[in-house]
Amino acid sequence: MTDPTNTAFAAATPPVQDTLITTDTAGLQAADIQIPAGDRAIPGYWAAPAGTGPYPVVLVVQEIFGVHEHIKDVVRRFAKLGYLAIAPDLYVRQGDVSGLESIDEIRKIVSTVPDRQVMSDLDASLAWAGQHGGDLDRVGVTGFCWGGRITWLYAAHQTRLKAGVAWYGKLVGEAGSLMPQHPVQLAAQLKAPVLGLYGGQDQGIPLETVEQMRMALAQAVSPSAIHVYPDAPHAFYADYRPSYRKGAAQDAWQRMLDWFRQHGV
């Protein structure tokens, strides 16, 4: 097992908890990478089993703290299970959030990130995966917090996607030039089924908005689904944070894997 220091985490994260899970690279190929994306290359992190593949692909979309050690560890967890997983840095054009010391500072940068740019950069990351041993006929996406919302959006964007799993991602909001639509407005446009995983005690995502999404999916006759953990807060999967809830996290991880297998990832 690896033992990452606190410097591997974004400066704004809470002190790392003793519930931290670490995953080594034994039997894996894993590295920081540069992904050609439009007018520039964007940084990212990838891992896959040692060998040439082809491997099913999972795009891992960062939480608000960026592609820090927790997200990299999630990438390695997928690789240990036989996936090629890749987490692109989706804020890099707007700024580096890793050294910012408050979440309010991070939000100022995140609020300037256009959804269109994120979709394009995820497409570029998928293309990179296809050139490095990924099977583009078996593609999934999952994301946490900020990345949970993006997971819903990407499922309405990318036709190659087989399935998505959104962890406590925002579902409703005001429309603007950078974020013209939110998941609740896209329920009928999903090109792949999405499993939404939410906490009943999430103070940032009220249960009434989760129910709005559930109703929108039902009206669209979508195969997507939502599961709520009544006693879980926001970020219940983030094992390095006080919000971690082991029981809910383990159950949700297994639900995610089952969802991917069920839908051909």
Task: State mean pLDDT over 201-210.
Answer: 97
Q: In whole angstroms, give the CA distance from residue 105 to residue 64.
A: 11
pLDDT at 50: 97
pLDDT tens-digit readout, 36-79? 998 899 999 999 999 999 999 999 999 999 999 999 999 999 99
| Residue 218 pLDDT grade (very low, low, confident, very high; cuts 50, 70, 90) | very high
Does the structure show a pLDDT above 50 at 4? no
| Contact (CB, 8 A) for 137 and 55 | no
Whose CA is closest to 191, among 154, 165, 150?
154
| Residue 259 pLDDT grade (very low, low, confident, very high; cuts 50, 70, 90) | very high
pLDDT tens-digit readout, 154-170? 999 999 999 999 999 99
* CA neighbours closer than 13 Å in the CB half-sphere of residue 38: 11
- Which DSSP helix (H) or strand (E) runs through 74? helix 69-80
pLDDT tens-digit readout, 82-133? 999 999 999 999 999 999 989 999 999 999 999 999 999 999 999 999 999 9
Task: State mean pLDDT over 206-222.
Answer: 98
Does the structure show a pLDDT above 50 at 2? no
Domain architecture of the chain: domains with CATH: 6-262 (3.40.50.1820)
Percentage, residues of the chain above pLDDT 70: 97
Whose CA is closest to 118, among 100, 94, 84?
94
Sign of CA dihedral 161, 73, 237, 105: negative
Helix, strand, or coil (residue 66): strand
The catalytic site residues sit at 145, 202, 234
On average, the pLDDT of the chain sits at: 95
